Amino acid sequence: MRVGKTIEVYSLKGKDIDRISEKIQEFLRKLDMESKNITRIRLSMEDILLDMRERFGEDVSCILIMGKQWGQPFIRMEVQGERFNPLEHEAQAEYGDWSRRLLINMGLKPLYLYKSGKNQILLKLHKKQINPVLKLVLAVVLAIALGILGRMMPADMRTFWGEGILTPVFDSFLGALSTVAGPMIFLSVAWGIYSIGDTATLGVIGKKMMLRFTGATFLLTAVSAVMSLPFFKVNMSVENMDGSQLGSVFQMLLDIIPENIIQPFAEGNSMQIIVIAAAVGIAMLILGEQTVGAAKLVEQADYIVQYIMEFISSIVPFFIFVSLLQMMLSDSLAQIAGAWKPIAVYVLLILVLLAGVLLYVSLKERINFILLVRKLFPTFLIALTTASSSAAFGTNMSCCEEKLGINSRIANFGLPLGIVMYMPGSAVNFLVVGMYMAESYQTEINLSWMLTAILLSGILAIATPPIPGGGLTCYTVMFLQLGIPEEALALTMTLDLIFDFMATAASQTFLQAELILQADKLELLNRNVLQESN
């Protein structure tokens, strides 16, 4: 449906706030947005207007502007008066900035601006995009078709196109990816920790959740590593182990601590960047209002880098086309033909792990296994078809509170935190891809290699931002640490886009299961709701 730009003026009286809310709802419906997300945006904007009314009174005028700019839908509300940021006001409220978090967890970030004596709240909505699965299929089909035609060209012509044109283009893309990777990981981790809200929240619930999320991620990764041994060429003989191999694992743990603050960013050492980011995030969290300026800087820098990364992710299908075409022209067909193996192994591992975790939950909480699967399936399906935890957030939250009986205190805090921190699906993804690429490029997989891979997979899964294509930034670091050549990144990029759908869906289901267990442990689980069949 065509969406035109509208400008309307209201007061902040109760009746007019209701009208503004209805207008926003109508606008969002024209964008074909999911009804649950419409409700969440509407409630969040209402909450902001109520804060404005409390500050300026009900007779002040509010200008509502809605439409599209450069193809991107937006909602802007303007209230005349002295400078007042309702987003900061919410952060200091008794229950925290719940409405702002509600939007952020849907992948939307409201912005406050003060221009010409007007307090402005700007909410940019997602553009309607082509289904990422369709873009991936088109890229692969086009690359294969042109690759078959290219195979008919003379060898010197294939070399010119492959090494003279396609390889430099692909290398430039990897350079851009590497440039953004370090800052993105730093800002994602630092802002994620600071966004917890306050040390009180962190102390009561956060510490336990973070420890359980971290422990469960490494446990599931280790179990998947053991399960994957029969599918790859692995030398686990202890006789071939020497002190230097085990020492290299210990040294890697020591090398996580950076020597200075500049070197990790210059070298792209993500492990050290994560340590620095965690230290900065915790420091800002503890110091609170003393670091408001620094927190704003980190937040705004995060907006910029995330926007750049989303743009890079949006053109990934083009570079998948480039990488596949280059591989077909350079006689790498065997690698492409063997790409089914990591996909099949990953699907098998994830299904077994999911079945095991859900069976444990069903036995512990005395809920029918099939019923539990039925309750979790809608969130799984949305995440599987979109590869986005933000797209599934509305359904996920409703499922946790209304179908799983998880108290809102746990759901409102644990779900956003888990989306960032708890991604076992991605950890298993990193591990399987790493093992397959090591085998393909004749890198020996031994015990020390496996321990390093498990550690790296768990850490990088926690550091990966929850956006489509976010895992691409981690492979360069992982391959460097595991001795896998850079050439493996070409095929990995294609595999990552496929894995991204499955990993996101699996991680959301693992998260829901973990929140059930944590809510039960904290006595914040309604078993009657959980066990209801309706």
Q: Give residue 93's pLDDT.
A: 44
Verdict on whether the full-model pTM lies above 0.75: no
**DSSP 8-state code for residue 488:** G
Query: How far is 418 from 178, CA to CA, in rounded Å?
Result: 26
Q: Give residue 92's pLDDT.
A: 43
Q: Give residue 77's pLDDT.
A: 92
The architecture of the domain spanning 132-236+259-531 is: Orthogonal Bundle (1.10)
Q: Give residue 221's pLDDT.
A: 95
Residue numbers in the chain where pLDDT is lower than 70: 1-4, 34-36, 89-108, 127-133, 174, 177-178, 181, 192-193, 195-206, 236-253, 255, 267-271, 306, 309-310, 313, 331-337, 390-391, 464-473, 534
Q: Give residue 98's pLDDT.
A: 46
Give SS3 for 485. Answer: coil
Q: Give residue 223's pLDDT.
A: 95
Domain borders along the chain are 6-124, 132-236+259-531
Say which residues have a Cβ less than 8 Å from residue 402's Cβ, sequence separation at least 6.
Answer: 529
**DSSP 8-state code for residue 342:** H
Q: Give residue 205's pLDDT.
A: 65
As assigned by CATH, the class of the 6-124 domain is alpha beta
What is the share, in percent, of the chain residues with pLDDT greater than 90? 18
Q: Would you state the structure tokens that stand for residue 166, as one six-digit string? A: 């396609």
Nearest in space to 162 (alpha carbons), one of 479, 490, 384, 462: 490
